[in-house]
Amino acid sequence: MSTLEDKTLEVSNDAVNITEDVASKGGGDQGGGGAGGPVILFFIVGLVASLIVGWGLFPKLLYSQKKQPVSFNHKLHNELVDEGCESCHFFREDGSYSGVPTLAQCIDCHEEVNGESEEEALFVEEYVAKGREVPWLIYSRQPDCVFFSHAAHIKGAGMDCVTCHGHIGESEELKVYEENRISGYSRDIWGQNIGGFKKNSWDRMKMDDCSECHVRENVSQSSVQTEKGACFVCHK
């Protein structure tokens, strides 16, 4: 967040410099009788203001920030468990994906508080002791109309978690969850960059991002543009 604020600050500082520049130039021109000075000034002030609103303010207003109920440390736990990611994220017998773990997968180790950490104490007192599931916020959650199967991608295509999720699995704390105030979707769906640029495959997971890879990988009937039945691959 600090970088965003810094940027806004930079931009507004620039704005002040530019307006000063233009103001002094405009003053010099006035002898020639041109109305160009004030017009350019208004243009630049307007441009800068809309940049501040568009880059700085709008994303802040559009997304509300939510803290996860407990900060889970993936790095620490990967070293403690026997089967890596699969200790907590695995396929059930019927092929469906277990997704986010339930208390049952934590309780063997957390019946009591192990260490000094406040997060662990919070987890044990508020959830384990009361038998309440942790209401984790799911970064990658798609709208209900979307059908997604981990089996097709992991077992079928042998893909790596990082391709779609980034490095959450190796992180030491969970990042802040950002919820779009209009759609209610997570920011991970619509993308970090509101300009629409994407650096990593996991920066965004909108419809076009799914189908872009499907077209590239030549998944049967995947081309959204060309085939009518294609919608039903991802919308049941």
Task: Indicate the residue among 51 and 70 with the shorter CB distance to ligand HEC.
Answer: 70
Site string for ligand HEC, 47-86 (x = CB under 6 A): -----------------------xxxxx-xxx-xx--xx-
* Closest distance of CB 154 from ligand HEC, Å: 5
Contact 19, 44 (CB under 8 A): yes
117 interacts with ligand HEC by CB under 6 A: yes
147 interacts with ligand HEC by CB under 6 A: yes
99 interacts with ligand HEC by CB under 6 A: yes
Q: Which range in 40-48, 50-58, 192-200, 217-225 contacts ligand HEC by CB under 6 A?
A: 217-225
Interior CA angle at 142 toward 139 and 145, to 5°? 165
Interface with ligand HEC in residues 172-211 (CB under 6 A)? 174, 189, 201, 205-207, 209-211
128 interacts with ligand HEC by CB under 6 A: no
The residue with its CB nearest to ligand HEC is 115
213 interacts with ligand HEC by CB under 6 A: yes
Task: Indicate the residue among 37 and 139 with the shorter CB distance to ligand HEC.
Answer: 139
Identity at 118, one-letter amino acid code: E
Among 40, 141, 179, 192, which residue sits at the site for ligand HEC (rule: CB under 6 A)?
141
Residue 55: which residues within 8 A CB-CB, separation 6 or more?
7, 8, 11, 194
Among 43, 153, 194, 200, which residue sits at the site for ligand HEC (rule: CB under 6 A)?
153
Contact 179, 187 (CB under 8 A): yes
- Length of the chain as a residue count: 236
Token reading at 35: 């109305």
- Classified as helix, coil or strand, 26 is helix
Token reading at 206: 């909108």
Q: Measure the CA–CA gap between 65 and 152, rounded to whole angstroms.
A: 32
Residue 80: which residues within 8 A CB-CB, separation 6 or more?
109
Interior CA angle at 98 toward 91 and 157, to 5°? 45
Site string for ligand HEC, 2-41 (x = CB under 6 A): ----------------------------------------
